[in-house]
Chain A
Amino acid sequence: MAREAMEYDVVIVGAGPAGLTTAIKLKQLDPNLNVCILEKGAEVGAHILSGNVFETKALDELIPNWKNEGAPVKTKVSKEKFLFLGKNSSLGWPTWLLPSVQKNHKNYIISLANLCRWLAEQAEKLGVEIFPGFPASEVLYNDDGSVKGVATLDMGLDKEGNKKDTYQEGMELHAKVTVFSEGCRGHLGKQLIKKFNLDEGKNPQQYGIGLKEIWEVSEEQHQEGLVMHTAGWPLDSKTYGGSFIYHAENRQIYLGYVIGLDYQNPYLSPFDEFQRFKTHPSIRKMFEGGKRISFGARALIEGGIQSLPKMFMPGALLIGCDAGTLNMPKIKGSHTAMKSGLVAAEAIVENIKNKTDLSIYEKKFKESWAYKELFTARNVKPSFSWGLIFGIIFTGIDQILFRGKLPFTLKHKHADHEALKPASQMPKIEYPKPDGKLTFDKTSSVYLTGTNHAENQPVHLRLKDPNLPINYTLKEYDEPAQRYCPVGVYEIQKEKFVINSQNCIHCKTCDIKEPSQNITWVAPEGGGGPKYGNM
């Protein structure tokens, strides 16, 4: 029997900054369009995690009077610092010597989750239907091979896939144009890139894992509007990464760490590097006596234009980081994601009205300021494959002297999952024990995310070969899933590979970093996953 179906003009998958921007812009351009957004989180914002120092350029274009409309964009950046960390030392880098992409004086410190909640309200006022708790789990195709829409997940299946009393079949949502805005490593976006060869001729995509905590500190430790970044310790010079420390409102500090997923040592644990980072004497004093109130992690795109796939296909578009529009040297992706959403909406309206080809979306995006930004930023990340020092020297020349206009483009040579070296060739890393005050273990951290998945449902982290973790990955790489997963989903217990999928915070790192690409992340039952507040 055919599933129930609903017809829309536009179906958007994912209520993040890109998807919400598309929805709002569509309704501004043509209020008669039927637009809906599917969101896998229990509410809009529940799965949003970002730094975030926000550049308002795209928001200015979308809702010019956002200030009067009560947008949660309030804390202006007032001071900037950049530190190089040695094991016990720190060296301040003068801000005038920072490339202009790293200057933030016009930007705001925000919670992206809260901005998305506000954008969702604006979208609903315009008549956009938003369905939180409904993950899109399947792409539907027309007979001619074009994308027809998506189907939501069947709910109420048990572990073995049998129907429970509460079983409810998923339903189909058909659209003239389907927009995929699932964020970095979207599980449907990944399928589409493969099916339509969208990454043909492009460099392999590069990713990072970002971990974030929110701290409440004393008035003396707090300096609202201060933005600080660090590079160096505890990472070695071959590993790309660094920290962010943003002083937001209400005596809160958004503290985070980003590590390139092209790291080589299978013993490296991004979570523990982040915890260790906080013990540096210059950092410790900022948080001592404070209280950690939130934790989360999410993979992010680092590949830039070299890895940006074709962004359109028959009947569908990839926008935001489902394609990969993040500007890595700027450490910002919200404004470019939103810009891709704006351009997508314009292209869709032309497509529906005048039957213009959807390729106009990519053309418009390439003519936009967002693409120009990504173009000038393109050589920074690959230069760090030569190590921290050469990366910094090259970036200085590229970004300060030539402003990104050097007449060549560096390549990303390997996919992140190919970067790991065998465990036998790499040093083990001893991480200090958490003290429960400044540094924490994974268990207490996942607790703060509010993560839950209904019990007795199919495991949403699928193994292509269930024996591979023990037979190969454990021997060759000491099963790095135990360490790259920031919340301890994967464990080796008595020669068995255990998947605690109920702890999964949907960061997608396993899907990216597993050396044999043996783990596939699929959408779990609706509403599952973290319940982030103001991340």
Chain B
Amino acid sequence: MKILVAVKRVIDYNVQIRVKEDGSGVHTDNVKMSTNPPDDNAVEESVKLKESGKVKEVVAISIGEDKAQESIRKALAVGADKGIHVKADSYIEPLGIAKILKKIVEKEKPDMVFLGKQAIDDDCNQTGQMLGAMLNWPQATFSSKLNIKEKSLEVVREIDEGLETLEINLPAIVTCDLRLNEPRFASLPNIMKAKKKPMELLNAKDMGVDLKNRIEQLKVEEPPKRKAGIKVANVAELVSKLKNEAKVI
């Protein structure tokens, strides 16, 4: 069995985001970047499955500028076997990303595509689902537990009502939650070995897919500042304020 795991390089989750003054986006110069956190979980789970003997090969893919290779190297350092970097110099929407991934799936023929549930930069939560639709593969999103069977997957996913357990046939798309596992640290020797693992270099422009963005971004702005809270004297005042001022009850 073979897994294709997708990783995205995003602004590190600890960094305080700064919006550009002209509203065209956010500052990324000299800002610490990292792999999208749930993508780390997807890599970790893929490597675990490999270690358990159920999976033979793990291929990590990232689509983006040259530095996206850092995220691929990190995946290789914790145990992925091979990397694919699809170079793209400008922003591609989830639809375009899904189209590129579809091309890669057709070539690599994995039994499963593993993705983080969403990226923390644009919070789209679309790529996995779109890819599932395009490939006409079953999908299990927001997985927090995974069990590979003969020709199917048992996936536990978190939904509003609680936990839902699905069984889906392979090949399949799985997106995961932060609860799935705790990603390991890459060790120094493995980081060095990762530098020698194979990495295929492709270009988004040469993939033969329409990458035109469909959404026009009008403006990026900071969320309004939260107003300071107030103290109420008693429950009656609280209820009255919720009713008459906040108008929530």
Contacts and interface: CB of A to CB of B under 8 A. Distances in A.
Contacts, number: 57
A114 B30 contact: yes
Nearest to B195: A129
A43 B188 CA distance: 15
Given A46-B32, A111-B30, A450 B184 contact: no
A430 interface: no
Interface string A197-232: 000000000000000000010000000000000000
Interface in A157-194: 164-166, 168, 171, 173
A6 B188 contact: yes
B197 interface: no
B229 interface: no
Contacts of A114: 30
A6 B16 CA distance: 37
Interface in B172-190: 182-185, 187-189
Given A43-B32, A450-B12, A531-B32, A131 B191 contact: yes
B185 A166 contact: yes
B9 to A, nearest CB: 12
A44 to B, nearest CB: 10
A293 B31 CA distance: 12
Given A42-B32, A450-B32, A531-B32, A152 B16 contact: no
A113 B192 contact: no
A533 B187 contact: no
Interface string A438-459: 0000000001101110000000
Nearest to B190: A168
Contacts of A450: 12, 14-16, 32
B189 A171 contact: yes
B47 to A, nearest CB: 13
A534 B18 CA distance: 13
A465 interface: no
A166 B184 contact: yes
Most buried by A among B12, B14, B182, B187: B14
A114 B185 CA distance: 26
Nearest to A526: B185
A134 B16 contact: no
A526 B192 CA distance: 17
A503 B104 CA distance: 43
Contacts of A45: 30
A113 B30 contact: yes
B188 A152 contact: yes
Contacts of B18: 293
A533 B188 contact: no
Contact of B188 (A134, A451, A531, A534): A134
7 contacts: A4-B189, A42-B32, A166-B183, A166-B184, A166-B185, A216-B21, A452-B14
Interface of B: 12, 14-16, 18, 21, 29-32, 34, 182-185, 187-189, 191-192
